[in-house]
Amino acid sequence: MKNGGGIAVHFLKISDWTAEVLEQVVRGAAAVKRRRREVQKEAPLAGRTLAMIFERPSTRTRVAFEVGMLELGGQAIVLRSEEMQLGRGEPIEDTARVLARYVDAVMIRTTAHERIEAYAAASAVPVINGLTDRHHPTQVVADLLTVLEKKGALRGMKIAYVGDGWNNVTHSWIEAAALLGLDLAVAAPDVYAPDPAIVAWAEAAAAESGARFLWTTDPVAAVADRDVVITDVWTSMGREAEAAERRAILGPYQVNERLLASARPDAIVLHCLPAHRGEEVTADVLDGPRSVIFDEAENRLHAHKAILLHLFGRLEAVLAEAAEPGRL
C-alpha cells in the first residue's frame, strides 16, 4: 500500500503517526478484539502476505503478527536472518528491494534503529518495526489498548515508567504521551536517562497536545498518585555484558509492593515481557491483583491486527462496522 506520492507508508516509531491516526488504531484494536470472530469471517486481508524478518528472538511479536495475519485472511512468512542472504552480508537495502516484489508488507525485529530506517528507505511496501534498540511502537499500541480497557480512558490517566530510561518501550511511551496529551512520569538514573533527542521532540510536541512530563531520578516521586505503573527489563537484548552493573544501579527502581504503596490504590502494572522476576519487578507484583501484564500480552494480537489493517487501508471499514466512539 502506497500513499498518493508513491512512497510506502511505514510504522517505525510512534511519532511516525499523528495523534488522530494513533487514536484510530487504538480504537480499531478495541473493535477488532470485540468483533474478533466477525472480522475473521470477513477476511479483510485475504490475498495479502506479510514477511517477518527476525534478527532478534521473539515470542509475542512473532505469534501475534502471524496469528493476526491468518485471522485477517492473509498469510505470514517467517524469515530468520541466519537463513537469509542477510546472514551472509547482503546489504539490507537489496533485501528490501527484492522482498517488496514478493510480499505486501514487512515486519522487522532487529538491532539498531538505523538498520530498520535503511530498510524502509529502500522498501516499496510498508515496513513495521517489531522492535529495535530505540523504539517498540507495536508494544505501546497494545499498552494503550490495555490502559483504555482497564481504566476506561487514556486522557486523564496519570502514568509512570520506572527503570531503564534509555529503553525502546520508554521511548515509545514518551512519544505516545506527547501525541495524545497524556501525563507521564519517567523515573530513571541519570546514566540511563531517556534519549535527549526523543525528550526534546516530546517536550516540543507537548506544547500543542497538552502532555505533561516529569523527568526524575526518584521512583517514589514518579509513582506517587499514579494510575498506571510500567516497567521493563533492566538489561535489554544486546546489553547482557552490562547486566551486573545495571542490577547494581537500577536496584532502587524495582517495582515492588513498597513502591506501589505510593500509587493510587487501584493502580495497574504493565510489563512488556519477558520479565526477570526479582529484578525489575517482584513475583508478587507480577502475579498479583494489580498486574494486567498477561492481558497486555494478549492485546499484542489485537493491536497488531489494527496496525496491519491501518497500513492496508482497511481499518476505517472495521471501525464503521463497530461504531466505535471517536475519542479516547
| Domains identified in the chain and CATH numbers | 10-136+300-319 (3.40.50.1370), 139-295 (3.40.50.1370)
pTM for the whole structure:
0.95
Catalytic, 139? Answer yes
User: pLDDT at position 239, please?
Assistant: 79
What pLDDT, on the 0 to 100 scale, is given for residue 181? 98
pLDDT tens digits, 242-286: 899 999 999 999 999 999 999 999 999 999 999 999 999 999 999
Mean pLDDT by 10 residues, the chain (328 residues): 54 97 96 96 97 95 98 97 81 95 97 96 98 98 98 96 97 98 98 98 97 98 98 87 93 98 98 97 98 98 98 92 67
Which of the following is catalytic: 113, 272, 310, 314?
272
Catalytic position from the list 133, 164, 183, 232 = 232
DSSP state of 194: P
CA atoms of 217 and 292, how far apart (whole Å):
25
Residue tagged active-site, from 48, 133, 134, 139: 139
139 is known to lie in a ligand binding site: yes
pLDDT at 328: 77
The reply to whether 109 sits in an annotated binding site is yes
pLDDT at 2: 43
Q: Which long-range contacts (CB under 8 A, 24 or more apart) does 110-116 make?
A: 110/53, 110/55, 110/56, 111/55, 111/56, 111/238, 113/12, 113/13, 115/55, 116/12
pLDDT, position 87? 67
A 10 A CB-CB count for 165 gives 23
So what's the pLDDT on residue 86?
80
Q: Are 162 and 187 in contact (CB under 8 A)?
A: yes
Q: Which of 109, 226, 290, 310 is catalytic?
A: 109
Residue 325 marked in a binding site = no
Tell whether residue 110 is among the known ligand binding residues. Answer: no
pLDDT at 96: 96
232 marked among binding-site residues: yes
258 is catalytic: no
Residue 238's pLDDT is what?
74
* DSSP tag of 267: -
